[in-house]
Structure 1
Amino acid sequence: MGKIGPIMMIAVSAALWGIIAIFVRKLALLGFTSMEIVTLRVVTAVLLLGIIGITKYPGQMKIRFVDSKYFIGTGIFSIVLFNWCYFTAINQMSLSFAVILLYTAPTFVVILSYLFLKERLDSRKIISVIGTLLGCVLIVGVSFKDTPSINLVGILTGLGAGFGYALYTIFGKFALAKYRPFTVTFYTFLVAAATLVLFTNLIEKRSMLVNAEVILYGVGLGLFPTVIAYLLYTKGLEKMESSKASIIATVEPVAATLLSVFFYKENFGMLQLVGSVIILLSVILINLPKSTYNINKNRASA
């Protein structure tokens, strides 16, 4: 596969996450709440993954019960916690601040990877994390008029969203030591789906679920920014450090911004351009060969 393969997998998965608005906006217009859309997403994903597993990977459908802790981590503490915290934060403060707090995820991944996965914490990672966070701030755009909307609940749940987002990478790395990427992805969404179905009212809207548009956008949501994206991300994560994968995945807001420009004719100003460039440079920096980085650093200090 080489070094470029995992990088491309992570980048493509992030780009697919960036197109999620196409499906979410349509399903919202069709009458679904935010958490119902999340539930529809994970239930559709687990059904699609189940079909793929039975027909193509039957041997990868088995896990040991003792290892279910990893999938409780990726499914509940990541997928469910992240979504609940994120939507709570949106209701507590402006969307821009909620998005920025969500993208503290690479910071959490770098710290947790250092503590639990014994990955190195070097200057490149620190600079890249700062760069991606700054880039997200510029892309999203923050107005000082929004400052009064900031409150403690919003900050805590926003950081909780970033933390939950980060936990998929950490728990996923532990799970990948024992299982293939397909197995990790399938059981992540199986646990998340079982949990969310219990705590949402999606079942009460079963009559809406047979609507042709709901089926089209529901399957699209479950397939492209979910099944394909998570399979690619998990496969890429298998071959690289958690901290690097998380930083590369911050190309997601760049993809989302480009989508908003071309599909929804939203504004794209100089700040968004600068933010996108900073994120891409941060991704390039984290993937530079160590020798190249050291040569450049030595030149800069000469």
Structure 2
Amino acid sequence: MSRQQAYVCAAAGAAMWGFLGLFVEGLYAAGFTPWQTVAIRAICSAVLITSYLALRHPRLLKIHIRDLPYFIGTGIISIVFFNWCYFTVMQEASLSLAVVLLYTGPLFVTLLSRLLFKEWLTGRKVAALFLTLTGCAFTVGLLPSFDTSLSVFVILAGLGSGFFYALYSIFGKFVSRRYSSMTITAYSFICASAFMIPAGGLINQAGELVDPAVLLYGFGLAFVPTVLGYILYTAGLTHIESSRASILTTIEPVVAILLGVTIFGDTLNSWQILGIILVLTSIFVISERRKSSSAQAEAGA
């Protein structure tokens, strides 16, 4: 794969993540709640990812039982609850707001990494934290005049999506040296689906689950923004620097916000647009630091 093709793959994968709202809104229209939608995504994704690995890379399905608690962390504590918070904001407010608040994840990763792994809070990290907090405050209406129509519940759910999303990186760090990212993702969804099969409340709507439209939205949710997006992004990531690939992930909120505005009728005022720009800028600030660190390491070697 050429370098140009790698960039296209990584960008396409990030763009696929941005289409998540299309399938979630379709399931909402069919009568499913955010919690049930989490169950559908977890179960369908586990089926598709496990099937793909079993056919193409069966060795990646081998793990040690002692590592199962970490996959429970990435699957149940992170994936289940970050999706529920994310889908809840999408239902109660808008897709645009949900995806911006989800991108508070790097803020929580930075803070948790400082507490758990004693990673330094550099000047760039502090600047990125400031940009994220300020951007989110503008987006939800707390700035410039503390005039927001959002409930405390919606704001907390939005921040919760970023927090639980960050926990995926924290739990995953403990096993990232022993397993490929594909293995971690597969077992995260396996654990999430094992939890959501009894807890997801789908039994009450078993009849609707066999509806062709619901099946299309369910497996579309699992395939396009989950399996396909992940495979494309990972394929590109193997041929380009992780810092550059992480910058490409900003395509996800851009795509999601465009969908929200053009298809679902989300409206954004000038202050919210400023907030979105600040949040996206914080990602570039963090990524540039990673790029510099990688260059220094290579020079030292």
TM-score (norm 1): 0.76
Deviations 1:120-147 (A, max 9, x none): 4211122123223433444455572537
Deviation at 1:200, TM superposition (A): 2.1
Structure 1 residues 73 and 232 mapped into 2: Cα distance closer, same or farther (>3 Å)? Answer: farther
Structure 1 residues 4 and 73 mapped into 2: Cα distance closer, same or farther (>3 Å)? Answer: farther
Contact 1:94–1:146 under 8 Å retained in 2: no
Deviations 1:172-201 (A, max 9, x none): 222221101111111000000010111122
Query: 1:274 is aligned with what amino acid?
Result: L
Counterpart for residue 210 of structure 1: 210
Counterpart for residue 147 of structure 2: 144
Deviations 1:146-189 (A, max 9, x none): 37x336xx776654433211101111222221101111111000
Counterpart for residue 263 of structure 2: 263
Equivalent positions of 1:217-236 (< 5 A) are 217-231=217-231
User: 1:25 aligned to 2:28?
Assistant: no
Query: 2:163 is aligned with what amino acid?
Result: F
Contact 1:46–1:190 under 8 Å retained in 2: yes
Structure 1 residues 249 and 139 mapped into 2: Cα distance closer, same or farther (>3 Å)? Answer: farther
**Percent identical residues:** 41
Contact 1:74–1:172 under 8 Å retained in 2: yes
Equivalent positions of 1:102-121 (< 5 A) are 102-121=102-121
Counterpart for residue 174 of structure 2: 174
Contact 1:75–1:189 under 8 Å retained in 2: yes
Deviation at 1:22, TM superposition (A): 0.5
The CA distance in 1 between the partners of 2:90 and 2:263, in whole Å, is: 23
The CA distance in 2 between the partners of 1:196 and 1:234, in whole Å, is: 26
Deviates more, 1:282-291 or 1:19-28: 282-291
Contact 1:35–1:84 under 8 Å retained in 2: yes
Counterpart for residue 44 of structure 1: 44
**Structure 2: segments with no counterpart, 5+ residues:** 294-301
Contact 1:103–1:133 under 8 Å retained in 2: no
Alpha carbon RMSD of aligned pairs, Å?
Answer: 3.8
Deviations 1:69-120 (A, max 9, x none): 21011001101232345567889x8679877765432221002223334544
Counterpart for residue 296 of structure 1: none
The CA distance in 2 between the partners of 1:169 and 1:10, in whole Å, is: 19
The CA distance in 2 between the partners of 1:282 and 1:86, in whole Å, is: 20
Size of the aligned set, in residue pairs, is 284
Counterpart for residue 131 of structure 1: 131
TM-score (norm 2): 0.76
Contact 2:38–2:84 under 8 Å retained in 1: no
The CA distance in 2 between the partners of 1:106 and 1:257, in whole Å, is: 19
The CA distance in 2 between the partners of 1:146 and 1:268, in whole Å, is: 13
Deviations 1:37-87 (A, max 9, x none): 111111110111121011101111110000112101100110123234556
**Structure 1: segments with no counterpart, 5+ residues:** 292-302
